[in-house]
Structure 1
Amino acid sequence: MLVGMTDTRPHLDDFARFIQASPSSFHAAAEAARRLDDAGFTALDETAEWPTGPGRRYIVRDGAVIAWIEPATATATTPFRVVGAHTDSPGFKLKPKPTTGTRGWLQAGVEVYGGPLFNSWLDRDLEFAGRLVTRSGDTHLVRTGPLLRFPQLAVHLDRGVNAEGLTLDPQRHLNPVVGAGPLEDADVLGHLAGLAGLTGADVTGYDVVVADTAPPAVLGLDGELFAAGRMDNLSSTHAGLVALIETATSGVELDHVAVFAAFDHEEVGSATPSGAAGPMLEDVLARVSAGLGASPTDHRRALAASWCLSADAGHAVHPNYPERHDPVNQPVVNKGPLLKINANQRYATDGLGATEWSRACGQAGVPFQEFVSNNSVPCGSTIGPITATRLGIRTIDVGIPLLGMHSARELCGADDPGYLSRAAAAFLAPAA
């Protein structure tokens, strides 16, 4: 018998708390680290020698986190089971010399990050969030709370907007308002620095993004819907983190190393030191194998027997645009996470992966749905093909179905985040 919405609500409430704690990738990594600490995981320094032997461990690199459970029975050829996700979301990032303004308005210079739906960010109460770096290399997480808006031009000044559509030039029209008054009296960076107990002169570098401040909300006639920002891809980050922690505390005996990897920069191509195309996961797995006494050949044998579950949000069928979806495979909310399939390997799922995903969902008592794109509407991609290519690990692409992906505020079914986490837990700890 499948679990229902009442049973998945505690997970949804915890997911909402995770979203609110994670306005930037750096905050998401810090919140994951806090939860891992509470679950008895030990933080490791990448520049130091790592302990050997069984244990729960993790590392944080910028806005990415990798955590793993090494069982007492692990040997030089013990394989890995990896749940992969990403912590970043499309939006806007603060430019250098960010304080601008005109005609009595104070504004901030921002740059487009990834592929956000521009119009969804208009007329919302937004905040700045991210990290500040001082000359000594120390980092400070900051968030402003509600501070800025992208104001839309009134309909009285754009009479054709509803009939002709809205066109936004990101350089001209997407300069958020942060206040009013003389430009010489304003200092966006100084304001951020003050929140960290610093001055603007103390800050020599920063990575600051724009985030929606509206809290997550349960919607629908029967509370069957859930709306929030950044569900692409905090839904998978949270699901994988919860699955790993539950695996660690369940007492189950593992015959593999269970891994959770949440990367940064997926929305801009993953080609960074903390992105999936970088060496971070490869290095961690190699060091874990080396600690088990593995030779290079032993490590390759371990990888050949390993699995990766690449979890990233997908598309639910849109009731107003059904023609944009495959006419047969049309996923709906609350019917389980998606198995994402693409003939051109934009998703890494193959027949063996589909079988493994079916097994994990069956073990968890969770339904799932297939997703494939309309042939005339090419799909995006995920960390799945990158991980499969870089490591040679057989990989499955999955994720919860959303409406409004890349909007400032996305919509999913209230059951689906919990379903995904339960399936991920069954993937990390297969029943004997």
Structure 2
Amino acid sequence: MTVSKDAASAAVALGQFVDGAPTPYHAVDSALGLLRDAGFVEVIEGQRWPSKPGRYVMTRGGSLVAWSTEHLSDSGAVQQWPAQASFSVVGAHTDSPNLRLKPKADYRSAGWDMLGVEVYGGPLLTTWLDRDLGLAGRVAVRDASVPGGYAVRLFRCDEPLLRVANLAIHLDRSSGAGGAELNRQSHLAPLWGFSGGMSFPRWVSEQVDCIPEDVLSFEAMAYDLLPASLLGHSRELLASPRLDNLCTTFAATEAMKQAVLTPSEEGPARVAGSGQGPRIPVLVLFDHEEIGSETSSGARSQLLASVLERIVLSCGGDRADVLASFSSGLHVSGDMAHAIHPNYADRSEPHNYPVTGGGPVLKVNAQGRYATDTGGAAAFGVACERGGITPQVYVHRTDLPCGSTVGPASAANLGMTTVDVGAAMLSMHSVREVMAARDVEPYTRALAAVLGAEVSAPGLVA
């Protein structure tokens, strides 16, 4: 089937976004740029926030929260929190499984220059072997001119720099039957030379234009240099690194831009229907989902709850308004979903599986690994209907352990109705994953419908 022009354009834009975001910090930087282009103004978390209606965004490391209150008042500051006002939240995560350098990374082994790495999250390790890898991250650089005495700078090296070399089949005949078993400490260190002519502290200081002594700390991550690409006989597939979960990060950011368009720009209505107060669209991009979210910028932190509370307080509300807005709000947690695999069809639940190219996916799990409940599923279904979309359903096989997302963590923190959704893909957690190119656009459209104020809160079911 030929991919439509709009679908192909959305897939190409996603590929460009992923190519520009080798780390969570670059993903946030890219999302911040897209939001600024849409009129969002960055606010500093450690300062008082404006009460004037507008479009705002704040960042914390590899996480970002954006919101719009511009529809709460025609002019001036919001003096009183509107009755029955609540939030429509779309969330995603910015991190992906990868290899991250240790603080003391340099060492020599058998005449080779090596860099020690830790495994972040749960990558398919064999997919990292024998690939040209770049290196990107952030560096804290000594700077007496700024508060705290240091500045954080991003860096990325898009040239072939690292390689995790495989063991030849002649040295381990078992590797021909599926690969030698990889020891995470011994077998995953990338080589980056053999002459001994470069130390990592010197190299990274050159990336951020300082002397080695001024590098106070760093976080550096390897990434596959092969760019995203459309493939297949009809170019209907998108192959790319980090689709889990930069696909949702991109789609959610684009959805937020669509949700705040003025009516004259054909954006969705910003005032809810009869009996509903105004809904404030919120975008949240969490870091550290792949390692459990228990960090200051993860979904188990108070990041989102504190931002939502500050929004209410800055708009004239009180603590009672905060709690009421949580109870009537809706949070759609977006993460990728497992499509049925043509070579491993038996690994899917036989009656509740999504297919590539079939549109957005509703994710359900009786053990609470996904946060979807009756109200949340209904609200997402209504949003999809208004966007002209029919969602698919994903349930994990009952005899296999199911992964989780930011949804349950955020739902527990907020007490807000939450639903887990995604887009179907293959090869999740591989260094290079694949999805249908035509799924990006309807996924974005569904998330935009959620953020649009026409989507009513599910409320509490008696």
TM over 0.5: yes
In structure 1, what residue type is equivalent to 2:346? Answer: E
Pairs within 5 Å for 1:195-206? 195-206=207-218
> Which residue of the partner structure matches residue 435 of structure 2?
412
Deviation at 1:213, TM superposition (A): 1.1
Report if aligned partners of 1:71, 1:257 keep a CA contact under 8 Å in 2. Answer: no
Q: Residue 123 in 1 paired to residue 130 in 2? A: yes
> Which residue of the partner structure matches residue 228 of structure 2?
216
> Which residue of the partner structure matches residue 140 of structure 1?
153
- What TM-score do the two structures reach when normalised by structure 1? 0.96
- State the secondary structure of the residue aligned to 2:150: coil
- Tell me whether 352-361 or 123-132 shows the greater mean CA deviation: 352-361
> Which residue of the partner structure matches residue 6 of structure 1?
5
Deviation at 1:338, TM superposition (A): 1.1
Deviation at 1:94, TM superposition (A): 0.9
Separation in 2, partners of 1:412, 1:392:
33
Report if aligned partners of 2:270, 2:279 keep a CA contact under 8 Å in 1. Answer: no
> Which residue of the partner structure matches residue 163 of structure 1?
177
> Which residue of the partner structure matches residue 172 of structure 1?
186
> Which residue of the partner structure matches residue 328 of structure 1?
351
Paired residues in the alignment total 428
Report if aligned partners of 1:360, 1:430 keep a CA contact under 8 Å in 2. Answer: no
Q: Which runs of 5+ in 1 are unaligned?
A: none
- What TM-score do the two structures reach when normalised by structure 2? 0.90
> 1:35/1:286 Cα in 2 relative to 1: closer, same or farther (>3 Å)?
same
Separation in 2, partners of 1:109, 1:66:
33
Pairs within 5 Å for 1:97-116? 97-116=104-123
Deviation at 1:100, TM superposition (A): 1.4
Report if aligned partners of 2:270, 2:454 keep a CA contact under 8 Å in 1. Answer: no
Give CA deviations for 1:152-202 in whole Å, capped at 9, x if unaligned.
1122222221226431001110000111213xx321232122011012211
Q: Which runs of 5+ in 2 are unaligned?
A: 74-80, 143-148, 264-268, 272-277, 456-462
> 1:359/1:207 Cα in 2 relative to 1: closer, same or farther (>3 Å)?
same
Separation in 2, partners of 1:166, 1:359:
49
What percentage of residue pairs aligned between the two structures are identical?
39
From 253, 256, 259, the equivalent of 2:270 is 253
> Which residue of the partner structure matches residue 84 of structure 1?
91
Separation in 2, partners of 1:358, 1:36:
27
In structure 2, what residue type is equivalent to 1:119? Answer: T
Separation in 2, partners of 1:402, 1:72:
37
Deviation at 1:150, TM superposition (A): 0.8
Pairs within 5 Å for 1:283-432? 283-431=306-454
In structure 1, what residue type is equivalent to 2:8? Answer: R
Q: Residue 63 in 1 paired to residue 82 in 2? A: no
Give CA deviations for 1:206-227 in whole Å, capped at 9, x if unaligned.
1111111110011112111110
Give CA deviations for 1:91-136 in whole Å, capped at 9, x if unaligned.
1111011111222211111101011110011111111111000232
Separation in 2, partners of 1:165, 1:7:
41
Give CA deviations for 1:397-420 in whole Å, capped at 9, x if unaligned.
001111110110001111112221
Report if aligned partners of 2:3, 2:234 keep a CA contact under 8 Å in 1. Answer: no
Report if aligned partners of 1:338, 1:401 keep a CA contact under 8 Å in 2. Answer: yes
Separation in 2, partners of 1:328, 1:239:
28
> Which residue of the partner structure matches residue 186 of structure 1?
198
In structure 1, what residue type is equivalent to 2:336? Answer: A
Separation in 2, partners of 1:63, 1:189:
23
- State the secondary structure of the residue aligned to 1:160: helix
In structure 2, what residue type is equivalent to 1:253? Answer: R
In structure 2, what residue type is equivalent to 1:44? Answer: V
Report if aligned partners of 1:90, 1:113 keep a CA contact under 8 Å in 2. Answer: yes
Deviation at 1:4, TM superposition (A): 5.9
